[in-house]
Amino acid sequence: MPRGSTHPAQGAMESTSSTPSSVTPQWDVFPQKTLGPIDITILVLYFVFVLAVGLWSMWKTQRSTVKGYFLAGGQMVWWPVGASLFASNVGSGHFIGLAGSGAASGIAATAYEWNGMFSVLVLAWLFLPIYIAAGVTTMPEYLQKRFGGKRIQIFLAILYLFIYIFTKISVDMYAGALFIQQALHWDLYIAVAGLLAITAVYTVAGGLAAVIYTDALQTLIMLIGAISLMVFSFVEVGGLEGLQAKYFDAIPSTRKENSSCGLPREDAFHIFRDPVNSDLPWPGVLVGMTIPSLWYWCTDQVIVQRSLAAKNLSHAKGGSLMTSYLKILPLFMMVMPGMISRVLFPDLVACAEPEICQKICGNPSGCSDIAYPKLVIELLPVGLRGLMMAVMIAALMSSLTSIFNSASTIFTMDLWKHFRPRCSEWELMIVGRVFVLLLTVVSILWIPLVQAGQGGQLFIYIQSISSYLQPPVAMVFILGCFWKRANEKGAFWGLVLGLLMGVIRMVLDFIFPEPQCGERDTRPGVLRYMHYLYFSMVLAAASTLTVLLVSLLTEPPSEEMISRLTWFTRGDPPAKKDLSVSTSPDTAKGAREAERPALQIDISIASENSTNDNKCPTGTKKDSKLVRTLLWLCGMERRQENPEDVAPAKPERPMASLEENPLVKHILNINLILSICAGVFLWAYFA
């Protein structure tokens, strides 16, 4: 949607008579319903339930090892994996942003969701077998094994942390805070700090297992609440036919004459739009959008880490299929309710005058982002309003916990282990947990910048930022996984060139924002005439060419850099040198997965702990009850009670197994075909 355009919707007429915006908070300008005692009770029960599930999950996994904490012990079955993939992806920014995009410009933003339907299947069927064979814990670690050296791993680890902290966390926190302010009128700092505190408790204490199990609960709550609101919305507007008829009449009462400001788009019910002048050109949707989508679903730590926690490849595929089917729903659960909100409240959601928009929501560019909260507060009866508040908080918490856990994994395994290669497992456990607390503090400190960004602009920028930073990384992963000739020099310079181009375009985008509706466009030609999805295609092509040319002009990678690290070599036998490193009983099994490089982490840590006498104090039997309680909460009591017992009683598998039951494999492949057919039908029907 045009970044500066304003968007139509109803209901502002009754409201301008309230208190002046200079005195009251922006969301209090218009009289509205708030949560009643029943709603508050439902919210409290929700928090109790989430904490109970988080605490219960602590008993379900081994939290005192690297693999137990960061990969949930590799014991997850398909349904919590699928639910966690969906919940990690659908944050509160999705509810606010997709509904806002629907209110502003129709259903085109659904393309981001339906693109993900295919990309999550590509992850399970093409990328995961390579990651499992490679035995990696993080994505930067995979590139380090594939290409050698450290510079790509460090470069990528820092880039991933930057993307997480300054885009994902900020957008989800803004959206969640917007909802909380709208419904409860709480102070933004108190609301977000409280949420982050609860989130941090079970993320720090339970690791990935707690995150995945609570995500499964959050997904159930999100689906129940969002589908309830969807039903109420469609009943109110007269079904899909009523929406199609009334959407084009949802025009604000105050707007500039002889301009398109505030008018609904003529192509609002089409996903494929004009390739030159539209907000989402169809070639960009098909190609330019797919590249960041592949980065997100196939190489992003948040997503891949959940799949790597599965018991075996079949469970990982089942989780991806579940997510793929669930991705059908956002059009009906988020985008169309946003459009209905515009129909019901055109003067509010679709305000077309900067001064009026500033009064309504504090953002002169438009108030389409209030579409979903407005619908919840005005349309739902008592009780369901509390449930929807729980849904939004569930969406916020599930995405934040996923980011916290994955960012902690990258920092610990890629950066900390690089600077302290001989650190003990005890130290890694402490660092991983402390980094989550550090991220919590950074998130709270980020709130003023989120407020200053006025949210609407911030969310709209998020997809363009993805198109500027992610394509080079995606192409390096794709070439590394599927082209054996790609080498470290090619990958490094492909990343550097692509990211340099992307950062330049991103900076220009912030210096020259898109003009508001009715203003003259004075931006440089590269911004005015090249849509960010087209720029994504250019970036991907430039990065790919660089990797190809540099790789072909320099020496080919050695056998060690290819064995078990590409699609064509994933079935290679383990390298002999891996056997010599290992002293674990696992090596006697001779199973394919038992000799992956990732095993060296746990083994070297275990053997070192036995000789190293932990670098961090573990305490003695004289420790106070408080210290013992803290150690138990962090899942580290095993080391304290038995510091000399290094080897676990049951040796852990280093990673999910590649073996699949033939019958299960056939069932999964049939579902793969069904899911692809469903996706193709939906694209064709709404194109």
pLDDT beyond 70 at 646: no
Q: 3-class SS at 514?
A: coil
- Indicate whether 539 belongs to any domain: no
Is 351 contained in some domain? yes
CA distance 140 to 414: 7
As to burial, measured by CB atoms within 10 angstroms (0-12 exposed, 13-18 middle, 19+ buried), residue 126 is middle
Which is higher by pLDDT, 644 or 69? 69
Integer angstrom CA distances of residue 273 from 107, 518, 583? 11, 22, 60
Decide: residue 117, CB within 10 A, 0-12 exposed, 13-18 middle, 19+ buried: buried
Does some domain include residue 212?
yes
Whether 642 is in a domain gets the answer: no
With b meaning 16 or more CB within 10 Å and e meaning fewer, what string describes 601-616?
A: bbbbbbbbbeeeeeee
Residue 565 reports pLDDT greater than 80: yes
For residue 13, the 8-state DSSP code is T
What values do phi and psi take at 76, rounded to 5? Answer: -80, 140
Contact 370, 360 (CB under 8 A): yes
The two structure tokens encoding residue 470? 């992610």
Distance CA 107, CA 340 (A): 12
Helix, strand or coil, per DSSP, at residue 273: strand
Q: Which two tokens stand for residue 82?
A: 């699928």
- Residue 417 placed within a domain: yes
Q: How confident is the model at residue 68 (pLDDT cuts 50, 70, 90)?
A: low
As given in the structure block, the two tokens for residue 676 are 């692809």
In this prediction the pTM is: 0.78
The CATH number given to whatever domain includes residue 203 is 1.20.1730.10
Asked if 319 contacts 307 with a C-beta cutoff of 8 angstroms, the reply is yes
Of 19 and 431, the structure prediction assigns the larger pLDDT to: 431
Domain contains 643: no
Q: Which two tokens stand for residue 161?
A: 């942390």
- Answer whether residue 428 is part of any domain: yes
pLDDT in tens, 274-327: 888 888 899 999 999 999 999 999 998 889 988 988 888 999 999 999 999 999
Half-sphere exposure of 366 (CA within 13 A, CB side): 35
- Cβ–Cβ < 8 Å for 491, 299: no
Nearest to 8 by CA among 279, 352, 290, 260: 352
CB atoms within 10 A of CB 267: 17
Instruction: For residues 143 and 147, give the distance between their C-alpha atoms in angstroms, rounded to a whole number.
Output: 6
Residue 506 maps to a domain: no
> Exposed/middle/buried for 344, CB within 10 Å: 0-12, 13-18, 19+?
buried
Query: Average per-residue pLDDT in the chain?
Result: 77
The residue segments making up the domain with residue 58 are 26-258+297-449+671-686
Confidence tier at 130 by pLDDT (50, 70, 90): very high
Look-up of token digits 């036919």: 241
- What does the pLDDT average to over 412-429? 83
Question: Tokens representing 398?
Answer: 């599930």
Most confidently modeled of 79-93, 206-220, 296-310, 600-614?
A: 296-310
652 has pLDDT over 70: no
Single-letter amino acid code for the residue at 118: F
Higher pLDDT, 10 or 491: 491
H or E stretch covering 434: helix 425-445
- Rounded to a whole number, what is the distance in angstroms from the first to the last CA of the chain? 17
User: Which H/E stretch holds residue 212?
Assistant: helix 188-237
Question: How many domains, in total, are found in the chain?
Answer: 1
Model confidence at 152, in pLDDT bands (50, 70, 90)? very high
Report which of 11, 19, 7, 2 is spatially closest to residue 377, judged by C-alpha positions.
Answer: 11
